[in-house]
């Protein structure tokens, strides 16, 4: 899954693809480089980010989705109104970082429109989530949250095979929490298909000393490979080509490609 942030303020690429032409061109590059799905987002969820009004979010993402006919599109939103218009415009995948908690009717909508979806764990909300997050047992708590949210989706009529689960790396988590979750991927994968978003994230900067998000490509690829080996089904990445190249080598060495 290639990331297309149509925002002025995303942590890794804010403003880069904010203009319509650049956004559409970048999405085509992501698809050409090997992304099966392009994840279009119009609201940053980086730590400290402020919510974006629905009309503003619609104005950012809908023209871009309409301009991408042909590509498989995911909409990264927590708002039902945005998901509805995005699906009308051609999106078939709903990536909701609140796991249908922000807009509970999202579950029925995803079922009715036969979309695929990703349900992610987040502690708190983006504005405050990195203010001293605490867990007794981060792996057990994220695991039971994801299991519960999957049941909510299934109860609303979403077929289980259409649901990916995501531990939400960096969403209300310290470095130790992120590492514990990544080490526990084989355990979490027993819940169902996993999506992982580690690309260019802060914890990689902490581990490597790379302060600038765009300088975290090598670290991101290393983390993506670790996720793949841990059982991740979908990798949400900014740098499709380096990730696809690394996966091609990994799979050849494993004898699966």
Interface residue list for ligand HH2 (CB under 6 A): 3, 5, 7, 10-12, 41, 44-46, 76, 95, 97, 118, 120, 166, 168-169, 195, 197, 236
What residue number has its CB nearest to ligand HH2?
197
Closest distance of CB 257 from ligand HH2, Å? 25
DSSP state of 203: H
**Mutual angle of helices 217-230 and 240-254, in 10-degree steps:** 40
Closest distance of CB 255 from ligand HH2, Å? 30
Q: At a CB cut-off of 8 Å and minimum separation 6, what does 7 contact?
A: 14, 15, 18, 41, 42, 43, 44, 52, 60
Residue 217 and residue 169 in contact, taking contact as beta carbons nearer than 8 Å: no
Closest distance of CB 122 from ligand HH2, Å? 9
Closest distance of CB 10 from ligand HH2, Å? 3
Closest distance of CB 37 from ligand HH2, Å? 11
**Mutual angle of helices 138-155 and 175-183, in 10-degree steps:** 70
CB-nearer residue toward ligand HH2: 84 or 199? 199
Which of 71, 118, 115, 114 has the alpha carbon at shortest distance from 95? 118
Which of 237, 164, 174, 172 has the alpha carbon at shortest distance from 206? 174
CB-nearer residue toward ligand HH2: 24 or 213? 213
CB-nearer residue toward ligand HH2: 97 or 246? 97
Residue 63 and residue 40 in contact, taking contact as beta carbons nearer than 8 Å: no
Which of 118, 123, 147 has the alpha carbon at shortest distance from 133? 123
Please pick, among 60, 200, 201, 202, the residue that the annotation labels catalytic: 201
CB-nearer residue toward ligand HH2: 76 or 85? 76
Active site residue 201: yes
Which of helix, strand or coil describes residue 113?
coil
CB-nearer residue toward ligand HH2: 139 or 249? 139
Q: Which residues are catalytic?
A: 201, 236
């Amino acid at each position: 899954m290639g990331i297309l942030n149509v925002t002025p303020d995303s942590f890794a690429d804010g403003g880069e693809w904010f203009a319509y032409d650049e956004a559409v061109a970048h999405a085509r590059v992501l698809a050409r480089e090997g992304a099966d799905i392009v994840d279009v987002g119009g609201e940053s969820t980086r730590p400290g980010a402020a919510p974006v009004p629905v009309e503003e979010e619609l104005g950012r993402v809908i023209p871009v989705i309409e301009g991408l006919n042909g590509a498989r599109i995911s909409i990264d939103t927590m708002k039902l109104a945005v998901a509805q218009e995005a699906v009308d415009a051609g999106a078939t995948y709903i990536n909701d970082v609140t796991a249908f908690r922000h807009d509970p009717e999202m579950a029925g909508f995803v079922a009715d429109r036969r979309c695929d979806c990703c349900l992610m764990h987040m502690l708190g909300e983006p504005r405050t989530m990195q203010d001293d997050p605490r867990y007794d047992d981060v792996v057990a708590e994220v695991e039971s949250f994801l299991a519960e949210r999957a049941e909510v989706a299934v109860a609303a009529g979403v077929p289980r095979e259409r649901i990916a689960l995501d531990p939400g790396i960096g969403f209300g988590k310290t470095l130790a929490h992120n590492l514990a979750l990544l080490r526990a991927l084989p355990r979490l994968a027993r819940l169902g298909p996993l999506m992982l978003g580690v690309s260019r994230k802060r914890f990689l900067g902490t581990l490597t000393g790379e302060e600038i998000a765009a300088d975290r490509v090598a670290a991101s690829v290393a983390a993506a490979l670790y996720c793949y080996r841990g059982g991740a089904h979908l990798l949400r990445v900014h740098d499709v080509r380096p990730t696809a190249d690394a996966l091609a080598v990994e799979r050849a060495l494993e004898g699966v490609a």
